[in-house]
Amino acid sequence: MTEQPEPPDIDFEEIYRDRVDGRGVPWDIGEPQPALAELVDMGWCRGQILDIGCGTGELGLALAARGHSVTGLDLAPSAIARARRKAAERGLKVDFVAADATELHGYDGYFDTVVDSGLLHCLQPSAQRRYLEVLRRICRPGAGVAVLCFADVPGAHTPDRGRLTERGLHELFTDGWDVEALEAAEILGLIGEGLGEMSAWPRDSKGRTPMTGWRLRARRTEH
């Protein structure tokens, strides 16, 4: 059986650089994704927290507003610059850093909580495996990881790229993890015109399109 080629990498820096004010970035809805904001509200996040793939920082800033110690990492320097401006405007302290989540160094055993709002499903399969190796390395034993990602299920309203099956997620979070919960969850996006079927998907009162996702919570084991 011939192995399928991986899709080309997404140039996130180009996307953010061309939209300096943040408008027009489909996943930048101006607030944390509700499925992860719910975890913040219920007190699930604790200790040293990493918002990985933080974009322009809404989730990390929401955590900081509640008094948490937060680091935000993103590959795109333009996104990090915007996140730092937001933090300054709101009087909040978050350590926003431009870094590659699949090649991350300097944080071994540092974090008690990691929140991933749409990073995992943007990575190619080989990069997803490297990313899980990074998560194992930077999380302390007992640390919690929450991932919000596109779901590969029948009738899913998601882009074609990056969908993850239930089985695929469990396989990624096997070595060194206990999966606490894997449940259906909406991902909100700003879907513009001219995108065929996607442009016709339903929108909420704020013009955001609910898409089909998973919310996974896993706990780093001792081994």
CA distance 188 to 202: 11
Comparing CA positions, the residue from 168, 90, 162, 78 lying closest to residue 70 is: 90
Backbone angles phi, psi at 12, to 5 degrees: -65, -35
With a cut of 70, list the residues of the chain below it in pLDDT.
Answer: 1-8, 19-23, 193-196
pLDDT tens digits for range 34-44 = 999 999 999 99
Q: Options 3.40.50.150, 3.40.50.300, 3.40.50.12160, 2.60.420.10; which CATH number does 46-220 get? A: 3.40.50.150
* Sole residue written with tokens 């919960």: 181
Count the Cβ atoms, other than its own, within 10 Å of residue 107: 17
Contact present, 87 and 64 (Cβ < 8 Å):
yes
Torsion of CA 156, 158, 163, 169, to 10 degrees: -70
Which sequence spans correspond to the domains of the chain? 46-220
pLDDT confidence of residue 178: 97
For residue 186, the model assigns a pLDDT of 96
pTM summary value: 0.91
**115 beta partners:** 51, 146
203 CA to centre of own chain: 21
pLDDT confidence of residue 2: 41
pLDDT at residue number 19: 65
Question: Which of 83, 102, 105 is closest to 94 using CA atoms?
Answer: 83
Are 108 and 129 contacting, i.e. CB atoms less than 8 angstroms apart? no
Contact call for residues 79 and 103 (beta carbons, < 8 A): no
Residue with tokens 């350590």: 95
145-172 confidence digits (pLDDT tens):
999 999 999 988 998 878 999 999 999 9
